[in-house]
Amino acid sequence: MGTFSFILLGIIVVAAIYFISIYNNLVRIKHNVSQAWSNIDILLKQRHDELPKLVEVCKQYMQYEGSALEKIIKARASVSQAREAGDIAALGAAEGQLRLGLGNLFAVSEAYPDLKANENFQHLQNRITGLEDAIADRREYYNDSVNINNVRIEQFPDLIVARMFNFKEQPLLEFDEEEKQDVDIKSLFN
């Protein structure tokens, strides 16, 4: 074997190692996205289990605020359906409605001193608020992971490996503009 053969073999070995490195990094990133989604899913399930308890405690005190409770129940069902289907876009919209409903419920609860003083209500409110904060943190981590994934599969030379092995772009978890706005507390008491 001549020098040219050794150089060619060296180039092939280096290219193969580089190709394997790109592939392994793309796999790691893909699994980071899955793990980030799994973390959100766990928190959504926990909140899903807590919401009926909160609604039940509120029903005992808020006889005239049925529409606020119905909105939460409907939004909870929408979140559950979107989560189970893995539909990130629908989940974002449903999450927006649920967060808006919870904000309205907590604002309306101010008009019910007995409810606000109820230990179960306080515990559930704190638990759900904590879950909301955790979901927001995990959503940020998920979106960061998705962004890294989406950028890497579009960059050269990763693009070549990504297309060869069918790595897909992932959707960001975004909430509706309505969810991002402050709750109009005045309108809740009219």
Amino acid 73: pLDDT: 84
Query: 42-50: which pairs have CB atoms within 8 A and are 24 or more residues apart?
Result: 43/131, 43/134, 43/135, 43/138, 44/79, 44/83, 44/135, 45/83, 46/131, 47/128, 47/131, 47/132, 47/135, 48/76, 48/79, 48/80, 48/83, 50/124, 50/127, 50/128, 50/131
Q: What is the CA radius of gyration of the chain?
A: 24
Contacts 24+ apart (CB under 8 A), 30-33: 30/149, 30/167, 32/145, 32/148, 32/149, 33/142, 33/145, 33/146, 33/149, 33/170
Q: What is the pLDDT of residue 36?
A: 93
Rounded CA-CA distance 105/69 in Å is 7
**Cis before 171 (ω within 30):** no
The pLDDT value recorded for residue 62 is 67
User: Is 93 in contact with 176 (CB distance < 8 Å)?
Assistant: yes
What is the total count of domains within the chain?
A: 1
pLDDT for 92 equals: 84
**Per-residue confidence (pLDDT) for residue 179, from 0 to 100:** 47
CA atoms within 13 A on the CB side of 165: 15
Tokens of 148: 């890294």
pLDDT of residue 141: 93
Q: pLDDT value at position 186?
A: 44
Q: Roughly what angle, to the nearest 10 degrees, separates helices 119-152 and 3-61? A: 160
Residue numbers of the domain that contains 169? 3-188
Closest Cα to residue 36, out of 133, 150, 141? Answer: 141
From the centroid of its chain, how far is CA 35?
A: 11
Looking at residue 185, what is its pLDDT?
41
Residue-level pLDDT at 189: 38
Task: Summarize pLDDT for 83-120 with one digit per residue, the tens.
Answer: 888 888 888 888 888 888 888 788 877 777 777 777 87
Q: Running along the chain, 190 residues long, what does each successive block of 10 average in pLDDT?
A: 85 94 95 93 88 80 69 86 86 85 80 76 85 90 94 93 93 69 43
- The CATH number given to whatever domain includes residue 70 is 1.20.1440.20
pLDDT at 116: 72
